[in-house]
Amino acid sequence: MTTKARNMWFLVVGLIVCFGVAGFVSFYASSDPDGLEFVAEQEGFIETAQDSAVAGSALADYAVVGVADERLSVGIAGIIGVIITAVVAFGLFWWLGKRKASTTTSA
């Protein structure tokens, strides 16, 4: 197996694992408040909290708006998050690799 094939295999398996975790396991994540929310409750200033500017967005509260089944809604939101993260990461790596290759050939 060539290095390129091994890298592609690693990438595909990694994406499958990410989709599995985001799509299925994420529903079982802790429902406890995150660190900032926990401290705000403990210190007594949670009532001063305000919704963020994107609180009404399609993926607010780690769920997809309009999907009635909570488990499915959280799973879809997780998969969408993995796709967005992968596209940004691969685009960034591609762009940085292209920049490095152009500076190497011009030097």
Environment class of 57 (CB within 10 Å of its CB; exposed 0-12, middle 13-18, buried 19+): exposed
When comparing pLDDT for 38 and 17, which is higher? 17
Whole-number CA gyration radius for the chain: 20
pLDDT more than 70, % of the chain: 94
Which pLDDT does position 100 carry in this prediction? Answer: 75
Give per-residue pLDDT as tens, 68-105: 999 999 999 999 999 999 999 999 999 998 887 777 66
Q: Can you give the three-state secondary structure of the chain, one letter per residue?
A: CCHHHHHHHHHHHHHHHHHHHHHHHHHHCCCCCCHHHHHHHHHCCHHHCCCCCCCCCCCHHHCCCCCCCHHHHHHHHHHHHHHHHHHHHHHHHHHHHHHHHHHHHHC
| Alpha-carbon gap, residue 101 to 95, rounded angstroms | 10
Task: Give the residue-averaged pLDDT of 60-71.
Answer: 89
How is residue 89 written in tokens? Answer: 């990461």
Domain extents in the chain? 75-100
> Is the confidence at residue 30, as pLDDT, over 70?
no
Which pLDDT does position 96 carry in this prediction? Answer: 92
Question: Mean of the per-residue pLDDT values for the chain?
Answer: 88
